[in-house]
Amino acid sequence: MATTLSEAYRDHPLHLHQIIPLDFSSIRTLPDSHAWPHTEEDDDDNDHGAGSCIPIIDLMDPNAMELIGLACEKWGAFQLKNHGIPLTVIEEVEIEAKRLFALPADRKLKALRSAVGATGYGRARISPFFPKHMWHEGFTIVGSPCDDAKKIWPNDHPRFCEKMENYQKQMKVLAEKLTHMIFKILGIKEEEKKWVGSTKHSEAIQLNSYPCCPEPNRAMGLAPHTDTSLLTILHQSQTSGLQILKEGAGWVPVHPHPNTLVVNTGDILHILSNSRFRCALHRVMVNSARQRYSVAYFYSPPLDYVVSPFVLDDSFLPRFRPLSVKDYIGVKAKNLRGALSLISTI
């Protein structure tokens, strides 16, 4: 039985060609492998979405909990200010991400994620589900970042490790605070949330880089997906690109605001809330002028935790069958977009 995220991924190997990113620094024209078909739907969606935006919520607002509940129901996402994470902690992690992605390809490839691995440098995990490649490179941290960082910087890794570990610690505290608020909104009993605040949760950090692209309108930074997590806390560098799909409004841009983090609900919270909270389908567009960076922190229950909609009263009808976090990761590893339907009871 897998007890760590790394062990969960070990059961779902990828081919190496599905892992190695393009050497973007040497490319001047968009290769056919990275050219995505343009659909009219995209144009329509973008026109509609431009007028709306996800709510910005102040964590110090006395009504923050209620506002978070409404945002999760309507959007599955919100931007959070006064979140308590010192600006320097975020800035330092962005500096380290930039330092990493600026390295020559052969240095980054020293920490290439293995076919059965969860951590290291590589393409997005969702890549195998799409016929075209994404204009993206990533670095995944599960547990300590030091083993991978040492491969890249044999003598100069402590700074990277320290900043990432500090970020992870601070994000955990924020994620716990948000989870307590969200579980309160859902009316969840004490015994169901014992794991929150313990060391038993699952977590991962994903550093993302979207290099400048010669033909951004034909490329895709990160293809549409929902996160598998309970919730995700995202820092984006001051460059737009993230979009969230909103029914009736199309792809809505999530523009960066200073000192603000994006929070989105993942599949696990969607299941626990019996579909009351949306899980936001999101994607990332690229541009020709500025490289974009983001840092995602994924927070989930322990891998052996059985995910099942919280029963609220006798007439409650669960919309999903129970399964462990580890098993849900397995279902999703085979069916990116169909995982929720596969465990649906209706």
Ligand X SMILES: O=C(O)CCC(=O)C(=O)O
**Which is closer to ligand X, CB of 45 or CB of 227?**
227
CB of residue 282 vs Fe ion: minimum separation in angstroms?
6
Strand boundaries in the chain, DSSP class E: 56-58, 77-81, 120-122, 137-141, 202-210, 222-225, 231-236, 242-246, 250-253, 260-265, 282-284, 292-300, 306-307, 323-324
Binding window for ligand X (CB under 6 A); candidates: 95-103, 157-165, 234-242, 318-326: 234-242
Q: Which is nearer to Fe ion, 148 or 227 (CB)?
A: 227
> Which amino acid makes up residue 6?
S
Active-site position among 290, 292, 321, 337? 292
Please state the closest distance from residue 240 (CB atom) to ligand X, in A: 9
**Closer to Fe ion by Cβ: residue 161 or 222:** 222
Task: State the Cα–Cα distance between residues 340 and 321, nearest whole angstrom.
Answer: 10
Whether 292 sits among the annotated catalytic residues: the reply is yes
Q: CA-to-CA distance for 326 and 305, rounded, in angstroms?
A: 8
Size of the site for ligand X (CB under 6 A): 11
CB nearer to ligand X: give 2 or 286. 286
Question: In this complex, which beta carbon is closest to ligand X, that of residue 221 or of residue 250?
Answer: 221
Q: Which residue has the tokens 């995209």?
A: 42
Does position 227 interact with Fe ion (CB under 5 A)? The reply is yes
- Residue 167 CA to residue 229 CA, distance in Å, equals 18
CA distance 220 to 284: 7
Residue 242 near ligand X by CB under 6 A: yes
Secondary structure class of 230 (helix, strand, coil): coil
The amino acid present at 28, given as its one-letter code, is R
Q: Work out whether 208 is an interface residue with ligand X (CB under 6 A).
A: yes
Cα–Cα distance measured from residue 174 to residue 319, given in angstroms and rounded to the nearest whole number? 29
Which residue is nearest to ligand X, using beta carbons?
A: 294
**What span, in angstroms and rounded, lies between the C-alpha atoms of 60 and 56?**
12
267 counts as binding Fe ion under rule CB under 5 A: no
Least distance from C-beta 49 to Fe ion, angstroms? Answer: 17
Residue number with CB closer to ligand X (19 or 284): 284
Separation between Cα atoms, residue 303 and residue 267, nearest integer Å: 14
How open is the CA angle 169-188-201, to the nearest 5 degrees? Answer: 25
Residues 291-320 that bind ligand X (CB under 6 A): 294, 296
- Name the segment binding Fe ion (CB under 5 A); options: 143-151, 157-165, 226-234, 298-306: 226-234
Query: In 3-state terms, the chain is what percent helix, strand and coil (to 5)?
Result: 35, 20, 45
Cβ 208 to ligand X shortest distance, Å: 4
Please name the amino acid found at residue 177: K
Choose, by CB under 6 A, the member of 201, 282, 326, 332 that binds ligand X: 282
Residue 93 near which of Fe ion, ligand X, none (CB within 5-8 Å, type-dependent):
none
CB of 223 to Fe ion, least distance (A): 10
> What's the rounded Cα separation, in Å, for the pair 275 and 272?
8
Residue 332 near which of ligand X, Fe ion, none (CB within 5-8 Å, type-dependent)? none
Residue 187: CB minimum distance to ligand X, A? 29
3-state secondary structure of 318: coil
Interface contacts to ligand X, rule CB under 6 A: 206, 208, 222, 227, 234, 236, 242, 282, 284, 294, 296
Q: Looking at the annotation, which residues are catalytic?
A: 292
